C-alpha cells in the first residue's frame, strides 16, 4: 500500500496533462516565463520610444495627429507601407509648414529611410537660390554649414532645419539649391518669358495647369494673403509660383541626371500633385512620390477634408501633426502690413 502511494505521488509529481515536471522541465518553464515577460517589457519600451514626442502643442488631442494617410487608396497606413512605396520612385518630395519643427524632424526621418534605399542621395532646398548657391556642396562641419546657410538666406530661420542639415553633415550628402532669386521672380512676373532652360531641358510654366487646377492655386494664393489681395496682383503671383515650381523640377532633374536620388524640402503647396512640382516633372519621365506634413485643423476631423482636389489626390501620403502656433497667421499678416505702412510714412 505504501509503495503504491509513493508511485502515485511520483506519477503526480512528474506528469500533469501530459507535461513532464522533472526538475529540468521546471527550470525550463521558469526561464521561458522569464523571457516571455522580458520580451513583453522590451516591446512596451520599444513602443514607447517609437511613439512621437511632439514639440508643437496646438491640437494635440485631434484624432488625426500621428496618423499617416494614403491619399490614393483613401486609408490610413503604417510607415512600412510608405517605405515600400518609396522603393518604386526616382524622386521624393517632402512638403512642410515652414515654422513647424515637427515637420522638419519628420522630414529628416523620411530622408534617412530614403537614403538607406539609395546608392546616392542629394537634398534640394526651396530655401536656397541658384544665383548664390550654384554648385552642389557637401559639408563635414555643422558650424560652418550653419554659418553658410545663415549668410545665404537668414530669413528662413535655419536652426529649425537642424534635423535635416545635421543628417546631411553626418552622411556627407550634397546640398543643392532649387529656387530663383527675388529679382528673377519679379522679372518673370513682369515680362512675357514663360519657360526655363537648363542643360538642354526646357520647361514651360505659363498656362501649364488645367483650368480647375489654376483656379485651385489662385484660391490658395489668395488665402495665403488672407483674402487681402487686389485682383490685379493675382496673375503675377500665379506666374511667380509656377516659375518657382518649374525651377524646383529642373533642379531635381539635374540632380537625378548627375546620379543622385534627390529629395526636395519645400512648402507643402509646392509638392502638390495637381498644382505643384510634380506637374512640371511629368516632362522628365521620372517617377515621383509626394509626401506632405500637414498641421491638423480643429474643424477638420476627416483626412479627406485636407485634400482640395476632388478629382485627384493632392499628395501620395499625408503625415498629420499638431499645429505649431497659436497666433492666427492672418492676424500676423495684417500686423506686418501695418508695420510696412508705418515705415513708409
Instruction: Please give the full DSSP string across 129-182, using - where no structure is assigned.
Output: ETTT--S-B--S-HHHHHHHHHHHHGGG-GGGGHHHHHHHHHHT--EEEEEPPH
pLDDT band with cut points at 50, 70 and 90 for residue 38: very low
- Tell me the per-residue pLDDT of 289-307, one tens digit each, with 9 for 90 and over: 999 999 999 999 999 898 7
- What's residue 33's pLDDT? 44
Number of Cβ within a 10 Å radius of residue 254 = 19
Residues whose CB is less than 8 angstroms from the CB of residue 12 and which lie 6 or more positions away in sequence, other chains included: none
Gap between the Cα atoms of 41 and 63, Å rounded: 27
- Average pLDDT of 257-264? 96
The verdict on pTM exceeding 0.85 is: no
Per-residue confidence (pLDDT) for residue 136, from 0 to 100: 83
Number of compact structural domains in the chain: 2
Written as nine digits, the cell of 164 is: 535635416
Residue 35 sits in the same domain as residue 103: no
The rounded distance, in Å, linking the Cα atoms of 87 and 310 is: 27
Residue 290: which CATH number?
3.40.50.11550
Q: Which pLDDT score, from 0 to 100, does residue 286 have?
A: 95
pLDDT of 1 over the 50 cut: no
Predicted local confidence at residue 327, as pLDDT: 63
| Residue 30 clears pLDDT 70, i.e. is over it | no
Least confident of 28-32, 70-74, 320-324, 330-334: 28-32
Judge if 65 and 42 occupy the same domain: no
Can you tell me the mean pLDDT for 145-154? 89
Q: Between 311 and 213, whose confidence is greater?
A: 213
Whether the CA torsion 203, 165, 307, 333 is positive or negative: it is: negative
**108 and 20 together in one domain:** no
Confidence of residue 51 (pLDDT cuts 50, 70, 90): low
What pLDDT is recorded for position 343? 73
Q: How many whole angstroms separate alpha carbon 64 and alpha carbon 76?
A: 10
Comparison of pLDDT for 202 and 43, the residue scoring more = 202
Pair (202, 315) in one structural domain: yes
**Which residues neighbour 79 within 8 Å (Cβ) at sequence distance 6 or greater?**
68
pLDDT higher than 60, residue 263: yes
Predicted pLDDT of residue 333: 72
Region 212-225 average pLDDT: 88
Which domain does 37 fall in, by range?
2-49
Find the mean pLDDT for residues 138-158.
90
- Is the pLDDT at 46 greater than 60? The verdict is no
Secondary structure tally for the chain: helices H, strands E: 11, 12
Is residue 261 located within the same domain as residue 333? yes
Instruction: Tell me the three cell numbers of residue 22.
Output: 522533472
Is a pLDDT exceeding 80 seen at residue 3? Answer: no
Give the three cell numbers for residue 319: 503625415
My answer on whether 17 and 96 are in the same domain is no
Residues 111 and 44 occupy one common structural domain:
no
> Distance between CA 90 and CA 261 in Å, rounded?
6
CB count in 10 Å sphere of residue 316: 23
- Interatomic CA distance for residues 204 and 307, integer angstroms: 26
Task: Provide the mean pLDDT of the chain.
Answer: 84
Could you tell me if 316 and 85 are in contact, meaning their C-beta atoms sit under 8 angstroms apart? yes
* 61, pLDDT greater than 50: yes
Query: Are the C-beta atoms of residues 102 and 321 closer than 8 Å to each other?
Result: yes
Domain identity same for 277 and 202:
yes
Q: Kindly state the average pLDDT of the residues 74-91.
A: 97
* pLDDT value for 308: 67
Residue predicted with more confidence, 89 or 40: 89
Closest CA to 95 of 314, 294, 300, 281: 294
For residues 178 and 266, the answer to whether their CB atoms sit within 8 Å is yes
Amino acid at each position: 500500500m505504501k509503495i503504491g502511494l509513493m508511485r502515485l505521488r511520483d506519477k503526480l509529481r512528474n506528469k500533469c496533462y501530459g507535461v513532464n515536471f522533472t526538475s529540468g522541465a521546471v527550470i525550463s518553464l521558469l526561464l521561458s516565463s522569464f523571457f516571455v515577460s522580458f520580451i513583453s517589457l522590451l516591446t512596451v519600451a520599444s513602443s514607447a520610444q517609437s511613439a512621437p514626442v511632439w514639440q508643437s502643442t496646438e491640437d494635440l488631442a485631434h484624432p488625426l495627429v500621428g496618423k499617416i494617410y494614403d491619399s490614393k487608396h483613401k486609408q490610413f497606413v503604417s510607415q512600412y507601407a510608405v517605405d515600400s512605396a518609396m522603393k518604386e520612385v526616382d524622386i521624393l518630395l517632402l512638403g512642410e509648414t515652414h515654422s513647424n519643427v515637427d515637420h522638419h524632424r519628420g522630414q529628416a526621418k523620411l530622408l534617412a529611410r530614403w537614403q538607406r534605399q539609395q546608392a546616392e542621395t542629394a537634398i534640394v532646398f526651396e530655401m536656397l537660390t541658384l544665383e548664390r548657391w550654384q554648385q552642389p556642396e557637401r559639408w563635414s562641419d555643422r558650424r560652418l554649414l550653419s554659418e553658410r546657410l545663415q549668410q545665404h538666406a537668414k530669413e528662413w530661420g535655419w536652426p529649425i532645419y537642424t534635423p535635416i542639415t545635421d543628417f546631411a553633415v553626418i552622411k556627407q550628402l550634397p546640398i543643392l539649391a532649387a529656387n530663383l532669386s527675388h529679382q528673377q521672380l519679379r522679372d518673370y512676373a513682369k515680362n512675357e518669358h514663360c519657360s526655363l532652360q537648363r542643360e538642354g531641358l526646357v520647361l514651360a510654366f505659363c498656362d501649364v495647369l488645367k483650368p480647375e487646377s489654376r483656379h485651385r492655386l489662385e484660391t490658395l494664393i489668395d488665402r495665403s494673403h488672407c483674402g487681402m489681395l487686389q485682383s490685379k496682383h493675382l496673375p503675377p503671383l500665379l506666374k511667380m509660383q509656377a516659375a518657382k515650381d518649374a525651377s524646383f523640377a529642373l533642379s531635381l532633374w539635374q540632380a537625378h541626371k548627375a546620379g543622385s536620388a534627390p529629395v526636395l524640402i519645400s512648402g507643402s503647396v509646392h509638392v502638390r500633385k495637381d498644382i505643384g512640382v510634380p506637374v512640371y516633372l511629368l516632362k522628365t519621365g521620372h517617377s515621383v512620390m509626394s509626401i506632405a506634413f500637414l498641421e491638423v485643423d480643429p474643424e477638420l476631423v476627416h483626412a479627406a477634408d485636407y485634400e482640395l482636389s476632388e478629382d485627384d489626390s493632392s499628395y501620395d501620403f499625408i503625415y498629420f501633426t499638431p499645429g505649431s502656433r497659436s497666433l492666427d497667421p492672418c492676424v500676423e499678416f495684417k500686423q506686418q502690413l501695418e508695420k510696412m505702412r508705418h515705415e513708409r510714412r
